[in-house]
Amino acid sequence: MDPALLRERELFKKRALTTPTVEKKKREPEKEPIRDEPPKKKSKPLSSSAAPKLDMVNYKTMSGSSQYRFGVLAKIVKHMKSRHQEGDDHPLTLDEILDETNQLDVGSKVKQWLLTESLINNPKIEVSPDGRFSFKAMYKIKDKKSLLRLLKQQDLKGLGGILLEDIQESLPHCDKALKSLQNEILFITRPLDKKKIVFYNDKTAQFIVDDEFQKLWRAVAVDAMDDQKIDEYLEKQGIRSMQDHGPKKPAPIKRKKPNARKKQFKKPRDNEHLADVLETYDDNK
């Protein structure tokens, strides 16, 4: 053989002997313990079809479902309000209300709760002496005449207007009545919450204001001033502000406090004015 190849072969053996090697031991398979009993079969999960179904009638009649109770109550109040706005004012029994609202499947516990607690204490439900229920509106008005009378009373007493939503809740066929009274009422939108307020249109208070006075009035900025600052400014200018606006409150009645001192007993006086006329009679004379 070629001596060069033999030399390389010897060098390769030396390098192989000096290089450390790690042998991987094969793991022995774990032996299973011997069991006398046969292995149990794993139970399969029940399918959705085999699971017990929830009875909706029993769910509704559960005593703990407070959300369902208040849902029934809200539906009743909404129905009573809508029938009042349509002109149906005659009171109904609880069974009649449940029949009209399609809630005849409520349980006995919910009925008892409606009769003894929720409907009696609800501010929007009125109970008659015979145990019937009707809607309790904000104002007792039935037609446009009663509405106009109410707005006049509000204006005369200085109470201002009435919210449009309260009139819509109280007056049956409200839109028709407001349309016929459009020349006798005013609508003002409140800037805070954009709600409309209805006022009585008092035509006797209408007068023509000069354009120059209107320009001067609108030129004065009073947005950042309260009533007290405006009063102080008017007093400095020699103008007395109006203080007696709005309804007057009756003055409280002052009661006299009982005197702590006891009344002194007055002794009877002698007849001093008859001192010259009186005579004394002695027994010695």
Amino acid identity of residue 136, one-letter, is K
In a domain, 103, yes or no: yes
Q: What residues form DSSP beta bridges with 188? A: 197
Same domain, 155 and 130: no
In a domain, 199, yes or no: yes
Q: How far apart are the first and last CA of the chain?
A: 203
CB atoms within 10 A of CB 155: 16
Residues whose CB falls within 8 Å of the CB of residue 107, separated by 6 or more in sequence, listed in order: 60, 61
User: What pLDDT is recorded for position 73?
Assistant: 92
Burial of residue 193 (number of CB atoms within 10 Å: 0-12, 13-18, 19+):
exposed
The reply to whether 200 and 163 lie within a common domain is yes
Q: What are φ and ψ of residue 187, in 5° steps? A: -110, 125
Q: Within a 10 A sphere around the Cβ of 23, how many other Cβ atoms?
A: 5
Is 56 a member of any domain? no
Tokens 């004394």 locate to 280
Residues 6 or more apart in contact with residue 120 via CB below 8 angstroms: 127
**What is the Cα–Cα distance from 47 to 44, expressed in whole angstroms?**
9
The CA distance from 63 to 106, in Å, is 11
Q: How many CA atoms lie within 13 A of 75 on its CB side?
A: 17
Inside any domain, residue 269: no
Give 186's strand partners. Answer: 199
Confidence of residue 135 (pLDDT cuts 50, 70, 90): very high
For 125, phi then psi, to 5°, come to -120, 130
Query: How many Å separate Cα 117 from the centre of its chain?
Result: 19
What average pLDDT does the structure give for the chain?
Answer: 77
Helix, strand, coil shares, percent, the chain, to 5: 40, 5, 55
CA–CA separation, 227 vs 250, rounded Å?
23
Res 12: pLDDT: 80
The tens digit of pLDDT for each residue in 3-34 reads 777 788 888 887 777 776 655 555 655 555 55
Asked whether residue 168 is assigned to any structural domain, the reply reads yes
Domain final position from 154, 177, 205: 205
Q: Which of 105, 135, 165 is the last residue of a domain?
A: 135
Domain count, the chain: 2
Residues 6+ apart with CB under 8 A from 236: none
**Model pLDDT, residue 2:** 73
The verdict on 113 and 150 lying in the same domain is no
- Residue 235 in any domain: the answer is no
The one-character DSSP state at 225 is -
CATH of the domain at 114: 1.10.10.10
Does the residue 55 lie in any domain? no
Question: 201 with 166, same domain?
Answer: yes
114 and 70 in one domain? yes
pLDDT at position 36 is 52
Residue 60: what pLDDT? 46
pLDDT band at 125 (very low <50, low <70, confident <90, very high): very high
More confident residue, 283 or 103: 103
Range of the domain at 109: 66-135
Domain boundary among the residues 152, 181, 205 is at 205
Question: Domain for residue 184, yes or no?
Answer: yes
